Structure 1
């Protein structure tokens, strides 16, 4: 993980949890990141706000138990992910557009790192960056290998269900993630990374 290129990205909960624990491989935005960030690292920050409708939809769509608002830490960095690319369309069930930041090599930190978040991409304070690096080194693997409560397990298989599109999902961008728009419950199964 490059210290020069890691930037913080604050997300409304439970979207940060979905990246760290539920295999969310696309972060939906209205804007593209700076080109120099592609291939770099993002510190996934769980903001203070909570979206219960999103939690309910994630649970219904992906068949996972989303920890409650009380169970999810806020105001902390919970994971690190590599920004693998930028897309305007994707087959990922998490894509809702208009711009998708594809995420790879997600590592949940064993201990969340307290930090004030911000809008857009932001620079981590040096002391926070040091604790994030220490957590990343301690984890030494992707989130699905960590025995942490409330997280996704690689062997679980779920089937998306049909739900009506909800305009408030996808980070408030007016479009629901692809899984909520196009889920076909008959034979489709979603498998995390």
Structure 2
């Protein structure tokens, strides 16, 4: 894997090249300000050797050229988890986001690695946020002048192949309409985040509502009344002496 250090374009290229990107990464780039992407090829597993991921540098001659961001029909479930844990974003479902179409254009401006790029330590929240459990990659392709456009259906192509010349006029026209504000990006609905308690803390039990005291049953005492005492005056009631003195 070549780790030649960061390099930036020195001239503005005019070529437009096909750049496939899985969903929902396309949505993060077009709707949530992501401007760094990580490109890698996966070597399939074989006997005695597990599958391996190889990060890629772009050809230097493509620096400064335009990439036509192509939303593939693949949907990266791992990206959904990363976006949720790193940024609290709930991604739209695969049947909502456009697929098989160009959704944006951007200039390939710079290439860098984690070890020699100061932006890896806080400048770019899309690289490795503090809340993210892992880093997205080791070689970053930095994009500038990103312009979201009305999705333009197109056939799949090889990565970094020149865009079909027959599509270039329409691609330029949709880019111009979006840049001038005549066309505005569509808002894609994402599911609401599932609420969950803070880690390490349990929810307090719900208070038990007080129960009303049932009324006492009315009981009739029909027992015979006992006879009056022989000398009720001892209680100061009906005698000639009141409780506080003589009358």
Structure 2 length-normalised TM: 0.54
Deviation at 1:40, TM superposition (A): 1.4
2:13 and 2:65 mapped to 1: Cα distance? 9
2:25 to 10, 15, 18: 15
2:181 aligned with 1:149, yes or no?
no
Q: Note if 1:131 corresponds to 2:170.
A: yes
Partner of 2:152: 113
- TM-superposed deviation, 1:62: 1.5
Higher relative contact order (CA 8 A, sep 6+): 1
Structure with the largest fraction of helix: 1
Give aligned pairs, total.
147
Larger Rg, first or second structure (1 or 2): 2
- In structure 2, list runs of 5 or more residues that go unmatched: 1-11, 40-54, 128-135, 190-247
Q: Structure 1: any 5+ residue segments left out of the alignment?
A: 152-193
Distance 2:125 2:91 in 1: 17
CA offset digits 1:85-128 (Å, max 9, x no partner)? 0011242233333211001111110x201112234211111122
In structure 2, distance between residues paired with 1:106 and 1:86: 16
Q: After TM superposition, list the pairs within 5 Å mapping 1:22-61 onto structure 2.
A: 22-29=32-39, 30-61=55-86
Correspondences of 1:170-185 after superposition (within 5 Å): none
Separation in structure 2 between the aligned mates of residue 83 and residue 108 of structure 1, nearest angstrom: 15
SS of 1:58's partner is helix
For residues 3 and 116 of structure 1, do their structure 2 counterparts lie closer, same or farther at Cα, with a shift above 3 Å needed? farther
